[in-house]
Amino acid sequence: MEKNIAVIWGDCSSPEIVKQTLRVLDKVAEKYGHTFHYTDAAMGGEAIDKYGDPLPQHELDKCLAADSVLLGAVGGPKWEGLPGEQRPEKGLLRLRAGMGLYSNNRPAKIWPQLAPASPLKPEIVAEGIDFIIVRELIGGVYFGKHETYTLENGEKQAVDSMPYSEHEIERIGRIGFETAMKRRRKLCCVDKANVLDTSRLWRAVMHRLQAEYPEVEYSEMFVDNCAMQVVKDPSQFDVIVTENMFGDIISDEASMITGSIGMIPSSSLGDGTRGLYEPIHGSAPDIAGKDIVNPTACILSAAMMLRYSFGMAEEADAIENAVNKVLDKGLRTADNMSEGCTCLGCTAMGDAILAEI
């Protein structure tokens, strides 16, 4: 197969992980007889520096023209003082919206070899951590109106609004149920229905969908309780579906309990097969240029791209198995080091994964 991949190299230490990821993709292409064409697209800090805009239309167009998009991570201290519209994150939000990527899929899965790195007690980890957070990505308070104005008495007031309409909930709710059907068939809708109208609308829509998926064990949980349960007993979860902001918070918490956020990929999809694939970690400015950042989450994001956007399950397996073997051999990057293991830099970790494909 021939595929066009838009590549957003990202900021700070991000180009280092993207570089290793493209090496891995090339190896897969060679081995399985595919051709991947890469087109560089600028977004985030790089785009601000080049164009004064975190996502100019011509760069978004490159992403829309591709079969899928690979992203490292954007942002860094250099761009932190900028006003809202010109910040790197704004480029990411506009990319998600521009590509119509309403469904963000974030696995929280523990690699057995890295289990000791979890901040949770071994007894809890032993029960198993393997769930997915299906986060709505282009609605809610992220994309509602944001206003700041001066009241009559002279003080400032800001208002952010969190809108959700039925079709936005239904399409992501359906992804939640479909994802559960492919797994252990448990779906938990996380919300704050005791306070929010949007949450009550979510529940109403979810109840309609539930009727279509009688095999799925469906439950509901308030987000504050969920923040507790993720720490107390993560093994209870199979698939969580939730709105944008709650998904942001809960998925980060969930990634942390695995103890290895340098290993967690993510996919963002819309109605077609074109997706955006990126590690969940940030651009790690503090270690940029040192060739010590962990490229694995980005490499595993590429594996997700092969699986979900290109239908290349075997190829995705090849990458994931390679990562597994590397871990089995005790090879680690600095973020995951533990006694008795060998510490590799970013390039060396790329080499090690390549060698297993």
Q: Binding site annotation covers 290?
A: yes
Q: How many angstroms separate the CA atoms of 269 and 30, rounded?
A: 27
142 is catalytic: yes
Spatial separation of the C-alpha atoms in residues 189 and 223, rounded to whole Å: 9
The answer to whether 91 and 63 are in contact (CB under 8 A) is no
Please report where in the chains the tokens 């095999």 appear, as a residue: 215
212 belongs to the binding site for its own copies (CB under 8 A): no
Nearest 5 degrees, angle CA 39-CA 56-CA 277? Answer: 50
Shortest Cβ distance from residue 264 to its own copies (Å)? Answer: 12
Active-site residue, 248 included: yes
Residue 82 found at the interface with its own copies (CB under 8 A): no
| 138 closest CA partner among 116, 120, 164 | 164
Residue from the set 80, 166, 197, 224 that interacts with ligand IPM by CB under 6 A: 224
Choice between 121 and 182, CB closer to its own copies = 121
What is the Cα–Cα distance from 30 to 356, expressed in whole angstroms?
Answer: 14
Q: Which of 148, 150, 153, 194 binds ligand IPM (CB under 6 A)?
A: 194
The contact mask relative to its own copies for 107-136 (x = CB under 8 A, - = no) is: -----------xxxxx-x------------
Task: Provide the β-strand partners of residue 39.
Answer: 6
User: At closest approach, how far in Å is the CB of 195 from ligand IPM?
Assistant: 6
Beta strands of 292-351 (E only): which ranges?
A: 331-333, 342-344
Query: Letter for the amino acid at 175?
Result: I
Query: Choosing among ligand IPM, its own copies, none, which partner's interface includes residue 232 (Cβ < 5 to 8 Å by kind)?
Result: its own copies
User: Does 82 show up as a binding residue in the annotation?
Assistant: yes
The CA distances from residue 230 to 173, 176, 227, 249, 282, in Å, are: 21, 18, 6, 11, 22
Query: Is residue 150 close enough to count as binding ligand IPM by CB under 6 A?
Result: no
Q: Is 84 in the site for its own copies (CB under 8 A)?
A: yes
Q: Which of residues 72-131 bind ligand IPM (CB under 6 A)?
A: 89, 92-93
Query: Applying CB under 8 A, does 65 fall inside the site for its own copies?
Result: no
Figure out which of the listed residues 201, 284, 298, 346 binds its own copies, where binding follows CB under 8 A: 201
Which of its own copies, ligand IPM, none has residue 155 at its interface (CB below 5 to 8 Å by kind)?
Answer: its own copies
What is the 8-class DSSP label of residue 261?
G
Q: What are the C-alpha distances in Å from 103 to residues 239, 297, 340?
A: 13, 19, 40
- Please identify which residue in 65, 195, 313, 355 interacts with its own copies, judged by CB under 8 A: 195
Cβ–Cβ < 8 Å for 144, 196: no
Contacts of 77 (CB under 8 A, 6+ apart): 285
Total residues contacting its own copies by CB under 8 A comes to 59
Residue 301: CB atoms within 10 Å: 25
Q: Which residues carry out catalysis?
A: 142, 192, 224, 248, 252
Known binding residues for NAD(+): 76-89, 282-294
Binding site for its own copies (CB under 8 A): 84, 87, 89, 93, 118-122, 124, 141-142, 144, 146-148, 151, 155-167, 192, 194-198, 200-201, 204, 223-225, 227-228, 230-232, 245-246, 248-253, 255-257, 261
Q: Which residues bind ligand IPM (CB under 6 A)?
A: 89, 92-93, 194-195, 224, 248
